[in-house]
């Protein structure tokens, strides 16, 4: 992709500060775990796969800081770092998936010397990064078959290269279709209140030469009615065992509108986003964010200073509104539970 979201360089995690896009292209260097944790919390890095990768490298940052400690203290400190990173955001299951793998490597090296443990942790983070690149490419190839040449889609939030190691999930489908010679146009929901669609998706698609128009979230119904929309494609932060999908707030409303207008609604996500331990989406924890994001959106007053605010970061789209789930393992259609379980267990 034209711009890299995160990278490991000189024993530090380098993050593209997505809070400053599209006005500024700035990279921040994270050399301690608290800096990584705060970067996740303030959405400097965001998108379920990218959050997981940032946390994995955050564990390496912590391990390197503790490298000269006694082995028992090294293990204790890195476990504490893993716990801190796990408290950053509750909804995106990729965070916990990545941290579980890092924790397992740490445990496997409990009797090893610290430099060996550090090297193993870095190798695991690097592997997760490389796998995410390959997975996103495969998701794109699997989903591109669902798009026609000249098609138009609507997407919500940002599920592109900025949300992953490279290429993206929902936008990966667009990129893959484009690479096969198909011309695809995108309507990008602005995605209130932090405008990930207008700030990030539109910018990213323009960088890649994809035809894109930004629409306000409340224009989606009119666009679905007036334009020839082939499908909606979104990413996901957690998918329950029955196929219910947690994604950025507003996704549920878009799915309802798509059903009303007879437009397919696709979800593109890696298998690491599946949480088959949860029977339905009702069990998915939903993060509620600061009232300031709505009272003073993008730094400008947009509501009375003291007005109460309800600001969930995500909603859950019931599986009966989802036409198909696209992963690196293929394309699943209802009933989802058997296929999702097969994907996780294979």
Q: Is residue 181 part of a domain?
A: yes
Q: Token pair of 176, please?
A: 């893959």
* Pairwise CA distance, residues 72 & 227, whole Å: 62
* pLDDT level of residue 299 (50, 70, 90 thresholds): confident
Q: How far apart are the first and last CA of the chain?
A: 30
Question: Each residue of 134-167: pLDDT tens digit?
Answer: 999 999 999 999 999 999 999 999 999 999 999 9
What residues make up the domain containing 172? Answer: 146-345
Q: Token pair of 38, please?
A: 């705060």
Query: Do 153 and 290 lie in a common domain?
Result: yes
Task: Name residues whose C-beta falls within 8 Å of residue 128's C-beta, 6 or more positions apart in sequence.
Answer: 52, 53, 56, 98, 101
Q: How many domains does the chain have?
A: 2
Query: Do 58 and 199 lie in a common domain?
Result: no
* pLDDT level of residue 245 (50, 70, 90 thresholds): very high
Per the listing, tokens 């932090």 go with 194
Query: Do 150 and 238 lie in a common domain?
Result: yes
* Residue 1 pLDDT: 74
Tell me the mean pLDDT in the region 277-286.
98
Instruction: Flag whether the pTM goes above 0.75.
Output: yes
* Residue 313 pLDDT: 98
Query: Do 54 and 196 lie in a common domain?
Result: no
Tell me the mean pLDDT in the region 321-337.
98
CA atoms within 13 A on the CB side of 332: 30
Residue after which a domain boundary falls, among 136, 167, 199: 136
The two most distant CA atoms of the chain are separated, in Å, by 66
CATH number of the domain that residue 119 is part of: 1.20.120.420
Query: Do 117 and 172 lie in a common domain?
Result: no
Residue after which a domain boundary falls, among 78, 102, 136: 136
Query: Do 118 and 255 lie in a common domain?
Result: no
| Whether residue 335 has a cis bond before it, omega within 30° of 0 | yes
Query: Do 131 and 246 lie in a common domain?
Result: no
Question: Active-site residue numbers?
Answer: 237
Report the SS3 class of residue 31: coil
Task: Name residues whose C-beta falls within 8 Å of residue 251's C-beta, 6 or more positions apart in sequence.
Answer: 156, 157, 234, 245, 314, 315, 317
Q: Is residue 78 part of a domain?
A: yes
Query: Do 237 and 329 lie in a common domain?
Result: yes
Report the SS3 class of residue 234: strand
Q: Is residue 141 part of a domain?
A: no
Would you say the C-alpha torsion 94, 98, 99, 104 has a positive or negative sign?
A: positive
Residue after which a domain boundary falls, among 82, 114, 136: 136
* Residue 197 pLDDT exceeds 90: yes
């Amino acid at each position: 992709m034209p711009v890299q979201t995160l990278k490991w360089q000189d024993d530090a995690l380098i993050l593209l500060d997505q809070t400053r896009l599209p006005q500024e292209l700035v990279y921040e260097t994270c050399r301690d775990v608290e800096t990584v944790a705060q970067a996740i919390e303030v959405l400097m890095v965001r998108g379920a796969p990218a959050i997981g990768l940032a946390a994995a490298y955050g564990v390496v940052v912590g391990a390197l800081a503790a490298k000269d400690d006694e082995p028992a203290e090294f293990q204790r400190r890195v476990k504490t770092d893993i716990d801190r990173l796990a408290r950053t955001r509750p909804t995106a299951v990729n965070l916990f998936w990545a941290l579980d793998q890092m924790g397992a490597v740490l445990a496997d090296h409990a009797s090893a010397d610290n430099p060996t443990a550090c090297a193993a942790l870095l190798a695991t983070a690097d592997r997760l990064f490389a796998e995410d690149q390959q997975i996103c490419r495969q998701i794109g190839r699997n989903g591109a078959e669902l798009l026609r040449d000249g098609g138009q889609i609507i997407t919500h939030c940002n599920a592109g290269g900025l949300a992953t190691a490279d290429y993206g999930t929902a936008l990966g489908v667009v990129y893959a279709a484009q690479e096969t010679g198909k011309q695809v146009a995108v309507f990008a929901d602005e995605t209130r209140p932090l405008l990930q669609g207008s700030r990030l998706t539109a910018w990213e698609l323009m960088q890649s030469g994809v035809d894109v128009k930004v629409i306000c979230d409340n224009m989606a119904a009119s666009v679905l009615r007036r334009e020839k929309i082939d499908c909606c494609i979104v990413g996901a932060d957690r998918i329950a065992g029955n196929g219910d999908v947690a994604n950025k707030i507003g996704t549920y409303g878009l799915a309802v509108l798509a059903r009303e207008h007879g437009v397919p609604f696709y979800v593109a996500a890696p298998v690491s986003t599946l949480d088959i331990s949860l029977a339905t989406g009702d069990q998915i924890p939903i993060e509620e964010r600061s009232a300031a994001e709505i009272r003073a959106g993008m730094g400008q007053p947009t509501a009375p200073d003291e007005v109460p605010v309800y600001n969930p970061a995500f909603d859950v789209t019931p599986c009966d509104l989802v036409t198909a789930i696209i992963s690196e393992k293929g394309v699943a259609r209802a009933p989802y539970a058997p296929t999702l379980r097969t994907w996780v267990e294979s």
